[in-house]
Amino acid sequence: MIDTASASSASLLDCWVSTHTTFEAGAMRVAELADFAVGEPSHRFVAKGSCGAVSIVTPTNNNPGRGVMFQTNKQVAIKAMFNFAHDDKLRQTVLQKSKFDQEYQVALQHPHWSIVNVFNYFRSAIVRLLLAPLGEPFEPSIFHPTTTYFTMEACRSDLERWLRDRSQSRLVDHRESSDAVGPRGGGGGAQERGEQQENGLMAFDPSTEHRQALLVVLQLLHALDHLDRHRVRHLDIKLDNLFVIDARGGIEQRDVPQVVIGDFGTSKIGIDVVSLPAGQGLVGNAANRAPEALFAPDNERINIKQCDKWSVGCVIFEMLEGRHPFIVRGDDVRTMARIRMGEIPRLSECWRAREGGGEHENRIKSALEEVVSRKLLVRDASRRGEAREMIESVERAVWPMEGVEDRDRVRWIKDQQCRLVAEIMAQQEAGFNNNDNNKEEEQVPKMTIEQLMFAMMLLKQERQAAFVQAGQLIATPRSSNQ
């Protein structure tokens, strides 16, 4: 067991956070098809997209020398590229190869806890089960004899499916509760219940789950900040390109999924401006595309630096409301017109601060509206907020420092660090980590996604406070007696 007296709380948190969030793909060996069991019962075909197909497979050996991925039998995902052999599809294959390469290159070059982990890539023979599901027609002659694969962590679901499943579950619970309570029952005001019914299925209850929703938003902002710092423009952020994974810290948190971003096939790296042929827009999901990138009137050069922020705003709006802010079903022309010129919808009343609402609730909902309506879904790209500033705003809403004087700030941070360390250690003692048979693993206690982000915030706040203090000491003139 860790002797907390021999190390500061900050050092412990720094160690734990680094262990749970750092991923070094470069330390792993290149995989081979022989490393995986392809076929029943250990193989499961998941889906196919525009340039490849994804399956879930199980490593076949446990040799520690073979790399981190192969030390356990934990399943991983493997994606195979459609490498067509026909001359008439040569151009399509070249374009697909470019998109396919970008998918794993971004994740390998810029790993982060908010991005799907990619382990490695390799070329090998085509395998029917990795390109098409059983029962589907398959003609191997249309493919080259070899193709490109890459392996990544197996995700539980995409965020779109997770939200849909949760919405359906909430709807069932609501109906059962209404039937049991009768006409006098029901939580929230009539206006709030009416908005939920009008909007369709909401995955989060705005009256009780605003904090959980904001914690998901905070994860998306961290991903946005990471990509922006490395000048990676994703350009296709949507609910089904966001994935729900096993908790990186090891402890699942009820109603707060750990979400990572993936599918970088349309991304641009180190590029802020692109030229588009007249009348064409960027590739990717048009409904989430920023107004400035919808169409190029005449070989226009389009600045794409702020496009992902608009897309994240669309995602958050859809997550909260259960509907897209701009889509007109079956009418793409009206959808595009709404994006370019239509009124930008606000969040429903049930997601806004209200008279009579609790201080915590109103603070959370004010942060949600600030991020969506005044920082992300802003048609003027130059006025969209900086990701780091939005992160700090959300952190203050979730973990407020109200009433803490500047001179007491460092003490407050250290007190919170001690409290968090004690909380995590108590979880370990209570057996949340399920590692009773492996005392070595107990040296790094497991954490929820909220604890991980809180620890990150405290460490950042401590560094900022120390920097301010150092500046004050330098600026303070010494007395003549010193």
Do 184 and 143 reside in the same domain of the chain? no
Do 134 and 195 reside in the same domain of the chain? no
Do 322 and 203 reside in the same domain of the chain? yes
In the prediction, which pLDDT does 187 show?
Answer: 41
In the prediction, which pLDDT does 7 show?
Answer: 55
What CATH number corresponds to the domain at position 102?
3.30.200.20
Do 248 and 391 reside in the same domain of the chain? yes
Do 299 and 428 reside in the same domain of the chain? no
What CATH number corresponds to the domain at position 317?
1.10.510.10
- How many whole angstroms separate alpha carbon 296 and alpha carbon 275? 8
State which of 137, 154, 171 marks the end of a domain: 154
Q: Which residues contact 100 (CB under 8 A, 6 or more apart)?
A: 51, 52, 79, 81, 148, 150, 265
Residue 26 inside a domain? The answer is no
Count of the separate structural domains present in the chain: 3
In contact, 89 and 144? CB cutoff 8 Å: no
In contact, 460 and 19? CB cutoff 8 Å: no
Q: Which residues of 297-318 are buried (b: 16+ CB within 10 A; e: fewer)?
A: eeeeebebbbbbbbbbbbbbbb
Do 101 and 119 reside in the same domain of the chain? yes
Do 65 and 188 reside in the same domain of the chain? no
- How many whole angstroms separate alpha carbon 359 and alpha carbon 416? 21
Residue 316 inside a domain? The answer is yes
State which of 368, 398, 428 marks the end of a domain: 398
In the prediction, which pLDDT does 17 show?
Answer: 95
- How many whole angstroms separate alpha carbon 177 and alpha carbon 185? 8
Residue 40 inside a domain? The answer is yes
Cα–Cα nearest to 125, from 93, 92, 81, 90: 81
- How many whole angstroms separate alpha carbon 80 and alpha carbon 125? 10
Do 265 and 356 reside in the same domain of the chain? yes
* pLDDT tens for each residue of 289-329: 999 888 756 557 888 999 999 999 999 999 999 999 999 98
Range of the domain at 460: 1-21+408-482
Do 73 and 210 reside in the same domain of the chain? no
Q: Which residues contact 159 (CB under 8 A, 6 or more apart)?
A: 239, 240, 242, 243, 244, 257, 259, 315, 319
Residuewise pLDDT in 10s, the chain (482 residues) = 444 443 589 999 999 999 999 987 766 667 888 888 888 787 899 988 778 899 999 888 655 555 555 555 678 999 999 888 776 666 777 888 888 898 899 999 999 999 999 998 999 999 999 998 888 888 888 888 899 999 999 999 999 999 999 998 887 766 666 555 554 333 444 444 444 444 557 999 999 999 999 999 999 999 999 999 999 999 999 999 999 999 999 999 989 999 999 999 889 999 999 887 666 667 778 899 999 888 756 557 888 999 999 999 999 999 999 999 999 988 888 999 999 999 999 999 999 999 888 999 999 999 999 999 999 999 999 999 999 999 999 999 999 987 777 778 888 999 999 999 999 999 988 875 455 555 444 578 999 999 999 999 999 998 887 777 677 678 776 655 55
Do 295 and 350 reside in the same domain of the chain? yes
Residue 185 inside a domain? The answer is yes
- How many whole angstroms separate alpha carbon 82 and alpha carbon 401? 53
State which of 98, 131, 154 marks the end of a domain: 154
In contact, 114 and 223? CB cutoff 8 Å: yes
Burial (0-12, 13-18, 19+ Cβ within 10 Å), 328: middle
Do 293 and 392 reside in the same domain of the chain? yes
Residue 403 inside a domain? The answer is no
Do 315 and 442 reside in the same domain of the chain? no
Q: Which residues contact 441 (CB under 8 A, 6 or more apart)?
A: 433, 435
Residue 341 inside a domain? The answer is yes
Strands 44-48 and 36-37: unpaired
Cα–Cα nearest to 368, from 221, 236, 231: 221
In the prediction, which pLDDT does 448 show?
Answer: 96
Residue 464 inside a domain? The answer is yes
In contact, 423 and 446? CB cutoff 8 Å: no
Give the N- to C-terminal CA distance of the chain in Å, as an integer: 46
In the prediction, which pLDDT does 185 show?
Answer: 38
- 3-state SS assignment for residue 76: strand
Task: Check the CA dihedral 359-364-368-374 and report its sign.
Answer: positive
Tokens 């470069």 belong to residue: 26
In the prediction, which pLDDT does 253 show?
Answer: 94
